Amino acid sequence: MKPFVLITGWITCFHTLAAESQWVLEMVQTPTSERALAPNLCSLKEQFAFTWMEPEPNGKATVHLARWNGLAFDATQTIAESHQMFANWADIPSMVETRGGDWYAQWLEKLGSDTYAYGIRMQRSTDQGQTWQPLGWLHDDQSEVEHGFVSFALEGKDARAFWLDGREMTQPKGNMTLRTALLAGSEIRDERLLDENVCTCCPTTATTTPDGPVVFYRDRTAKEIRDIRWVRRHNDQWSPPNPLADDQWIVPGCPVNGPSVASCESHLAVSRFTAADDQPKVILEVHPHKDPSHKREIVLDDQAPLGGCSTVTTEQGFATSWLGREGDGIVLRLAEVSLNGTLTHEQILTQLKGPIFRGRTCAISKNDTLWVTWTDQRGVHLGRIRLNG
């Protein structure tokens, strides 16, 4: 992963809401050590799972999970451990639960001696994480290049994985590609190419709609335009890549700043970061499933945000967390938008520690409570906000 560093001027004006309407961020203690990194959240049928990595002094790294039982975290479980694990602040382990109750987890492992030669390892659990069955590599290619930035969506009783795959980059003028495969029981099958030229290290995001799974990702053109596109599966066919918006952001390197999508029964919402015309923004698009052309875009932050968006469904609509700016500091921001695209709430939740920060937020919504995790120089954090409390 070779990120591009965007340098721009910071604007320090922020909107604030009346004190009586403020959400309260309650910090929750996690079962992590001071070495922890790459926190993530996975929504389960009951409650959720919190996952993270812990590198050890002997060179081994471990992926852990702890399930929230409604009052506290259950005992920590180990998903995987390896001396070949690739620890990364942007490309983090994740897991998904299928409608049938299977859990699938992914993480990165080295494929060669080069720094960016790594692939995606998969495991399956049929007993809620008590034991894990190794499934091998997610992809049928083991070239010593990058494979990563996985996202999951449900497909029937199974799960579908999407990822960035660098196998074509072993060829002259080869590009990073977007690929997908189906996770069905103990099998990984139906691998296929979805887009032959995408941004090299921006996270992907996927969800399930009434018509089937859809994935959003940052594309790349010959002119270095890196806007967000999507591909949808409908009637057992994959659509061609389609633009989310015509931002026309020309950037000669990967910004490591992907979109985030959430879906409810009637609507879909996707947040994105763009810095087209040297104007950084976080934007949320909301539209009905039945009429994607009837969309509404809301600029959540045009005051030089850093991005790192995470969008989830709530009882009222959709909520998005992201990293913003206040003066010389970095802050965690949150906004809620109704299904018709009206901004109903926004505020700064907390300030992050450290003048230099890289990462993203991860959020889920359960029982009208929003959970957000992030990292700063003090370590891994987890907070909850009772949206109607």
Q: Residue 14 falls within a domain, yes or no?
A: no
Residue written as token pair 């910004």? 255
Q: Residue 11 falls within a domain, yes or no?
A: no
Q: Residue 9 falls within a domain, yes or no?
A: no
Mean local confidence (pLDDT), 315-336 = 95
Task: Collapse the DSSP code of 122 into the 3-class scheme (helix H, G, I; strand E, B; otherwise coil) and give the result.
Answer: strand
pLDDT digits (tens, 9 = 90+) for 178-215: 999 999 999 999 999 999 999 999 999 999 999 999 99
The region that residue 113 occupies, defined by phi over 0 for left and psi between -120 and 50 for alpha, beta otherwise, is alpha
Model pLDDT, residue 389: 60
Q: Residue 8 falls within a domain, yes or no?
A: no
Model pLDDT, residue 129: 96
* pLDDT category of residue 355 using cuts at 50, 70 and 90: low
Task: Collapse the DSSP code of 257 into the 3-class scheme (helix H, G, I; strand E, B; otherwise coil) and give the result.
Answer: coil
Q: Residue 61 falls within a domain, yes or no?
A: yes
Prediction pTM value? 0.94
Q: Residue 210 falls within a domain, yes or no?
A: yes
Model pLDDT, residue 8: 31
Residues forming beta bridges with residue 315, ordered by sequence position: none
Model pLDDT, residue 388: 77
Q: How many domains does the chain have?
A: 1
Residue 179 CB burial class (10 angstroms; 0-12, 13-18, ≥19): buried
Residues forming beta bridges with residue 94, ordered by sequence position: 106
Q: Residue 6 falls within a domain, yes or no?
A: no
Choose the weakest-confidence range: 111-115, 164-168, 258-262, 269-273: 111-115
Model pLDDT, residue 5: 34
pLDDT digits (tens, 9 = 90+) for 45-79: 989 999 999 998 888 999 999 999 999 999 999 99
134: CATH? 2.120.10.10
* pLDDT category of residue 12 using cuts at 50, 70 and 90: very low
Q: Residue 7 falls within a domain, yes or no?
A: no
Distances (CA, A) of 39 to 54, 87, 214, 229: 10, 12, 24, 26
* Structural domain containing residue 251: 19-386
Residue 11 has pLDDT above 90, yes or no: no
